[in-house]
Amino acid sequence: VSTQSFFFFFFFFFFEMPSPPLCRLSLLLLTLVATSLLSIAEAQGPGGGSSSSSSNYFDRLRDSFYDALLGILLVSISIPLLWLNEGKHIKMQRLFEFGQKAVIPVEDAKCQSQNQGKLVHVTGQADTTTEVRDPDLGINAGRQLRLRREVAMYQWVEHTTTSTKENWGGTKETVTKYSYSSEWKDYPVDSSNFHTPQFPSNPPAWPVTSGSWDAVPVTLGEFALSGQILSMLTNWQNRPVTERDVAALPEAMRHVVQVHDSCLYIPANSEKIDLHAETTPTVGDHHRDRDPDHNSDQLSSLTLRRMDQQPQIGDVRVRYELIPVGPVSLIARQTHAGFVGYRVAKNKGEDDGEAAGLLNGTVKALSTSRWDDEFESH
């Protein structure tokens, strides 16, 4: 029953029922109390409560006036922004047309002196002689171009829903309801800003965070690929975590983690683990017997539950992705045995200091039959 319905009910009985004035006065007081309680009940939302704000007719008229001014302002700003965007589109179209005419195909990824300072298109096998590894957890991905660690924590997340209703006298009331759910998030959720202050908080510290590492050096035929060029390659592939990788973990963490669905799970309250308490063990140590009495403080945080199916607030999930060695296609300016962005001058005779545009390297990671990804930096 809404507050408005209760008012209709009261007025009907107040004026139609034959009753003494004292009874009517008692009924009036009782109705006011009941209406207040009903309003409070309507404002309370499941799973975290709610907050409400009301506005009268003049407030709504003022808000409409502000909305009209904002609309006029947005229209005034959109016209020059549209003009600038169209100008940039035309500029980039001209740059690409210039690139199609000026680009020089390079066969077998050979570094030729006559191409120094020119726009070249090189296709070949990106390769490396080094192994890329996670320096924090010690997991070795082997001979790959790039390795990325993605970390997520099981945290409380606040959700808000807003509804508006009109009351008697032309006033409008806005009710915001708050609810909470536990979810995997790859960024810290600040629970101190939750609307419900007594709600359980999220852990303030993470045992590990996300990161990425590149192999050094990486070659493309006779050329060397810099870190900036490698950052344009993002054809990531899943790198499963196995029980064998557990042997590479720091000793303090090795006994508390779980491996499920190609991911590494670290239990809650493990942010105090010192990742550098011991040097990285060898793979052969994986088959040794684990001492049940070792690191009892760390083992106390490990339960028999599966953290992928029954996660708790503070559990951490770690997954890895990599970019393997393979064919790469690159368009950039050749400089010695490397690549940089290509500058296009306004008119003939102008030097790079008066350049009107910058056509940076375009890198594509190739598969056997199609482009996997394309990346452009302006």
pLDDT digits (tens, 9 = 90+) for 15-53: 444 555 555 555 555 555 554 444 444 433 335 566 666
pLDDT in tens, 130-152: 999 999 999 999 999 999 999 99
Tell me how far CA of residue 133 lies from CA of 100, 103, 115, 202, 308, in angstroms.
Answer: 39, 36, 36, 30, 25
10 Å Cβ neighbour count for 223?
24
Q: What is the pLDDT of residue 69?
A: 87
* DSSP helix/strand/coil, 335: strand
* DSSP helix/strand/coil, 120: strand
**pTM given for the model:** 0.65
Asked if residue 359 has pLDDT above 90, the reply is no
Across residues 64-89, what is the average pLDDT? Answer: 87
Asked if residue 114 has pLDDT above 70, the reply is yes
Q: What is the pLDDT of residue 150?
A: 97
Asked if residue 224 has pLDDT above 90, the reply is yes
How far is the C-alpha of 348 from the C-alpha of 358, rounded, in Å?
Answer: 16
Q: With cut-offs at 50, 70 and 90, classify the pLDDT of residue 281.
A: very low
10 Å Cβ neighbour count for 8?
10
Question: Do the beta carbons of residue 227 and residue 323 sit within 8 Å?
Answer: no
Question: Do the beta carbons of residue 317 and residue 263 sit within 8 Å?
Answer: yes
Query: 66 CB contacts (<8 Å, ≥6 apart)?
Result: none
Q: What is the pLDDT of residue 364?
A: 53
Q: What is the pLDDT of residue 48?
A: 59
Q: What is the pLDDT of residue 271?
A: 58
pLDDT in tens, 167-215: 776 677 888 899 999 999 999 999 988 988 777 889 988 989 999 999 9
Backbone angles phi, psi at 365, to 5 degrees: -95, 125
Residue with tokens 């690549």: 339
- In this structure, of 45-54, 74-83, 215-224, 315-324, the range with the lowest mean pLDDT score is 45-54
Asked if residue 250 has pLDDT above 90, the reply is no
Q: Mean pLDDT across the chain, nearest whole number?
A: 75
Q: For the residues of 163-193, what is the DSSP string, one character each?
A: EEEE-GGG-EEEEEEEEEEEEEESS---GGG
Q: What is the pLDDT of residue 216?
A: 94
Question: Do the beta carbons of residue 153 and residue 183 sit within 8 Å?
Answer: no
List the one residue out of 159, 204, 194 whose CA is nearest residue 177: 159
Q: With cut-offs at 50, 70 and 90, classify the pLDDT of residue 369.
A: very low
Across residues 69-96, what is the average pLDDT? Answer: 87
Peptide bond into 217 cis (omega under 30): yes
Q: What is the CA radius of gyration of the chain?
A: 33
10 Å Cβ neighbour count for 130?
12
Alpha-carbon dihedral 349, 350, 355, 358, rounded to 10 degrees: 20
List the one residue out of 169, 206, 203 whose CA is nearest residue 55: 169
Across residues 293-302, what is the average pLDDT? Answer: 43
Report the range out of 88-92, 221-225, 298-302, 308-312 with the highest average pLDDT: 221-225
How far is the C-alpha of 283 from the C-alpha of 297, rounded, in Å?
Answer: 25
Asked if residue 10 has pLDDT above 60, the reply is no
Q: What is the pLDDT of residue 377?
A: 32
Q: What is the pLDDT of residue 31?
A: 52
Q: How many CA atoms lie within 13 A of 330 on its CB side?
A: 32
Q: For the residues of 245-267, what is the DSSP string, one character each?
A: HHTTS-HHHHTT-EEETTEEEE-
* DSSP helix/strand/coil, 52: strand
Q: What is the pLDDT of residue 145?
A: 96
- In this structure, of 83-87, 93-97, 228-232, 367-371, the range with the lowest mean pLDDT score is 367-371
Query: 106 CB contacts (<8 Å, ≥6 apart)?
Result: 112, 115, 120, 121, 122, 123, 334
Q: What is the pLDDT of residue 6?
A: 43
Q: What is the pLDDT of residue 353?
A: 34
CB-neighbour burial class of residue 207 (10 A; exposed 0-12, middle 13-18, buried 19+): buried
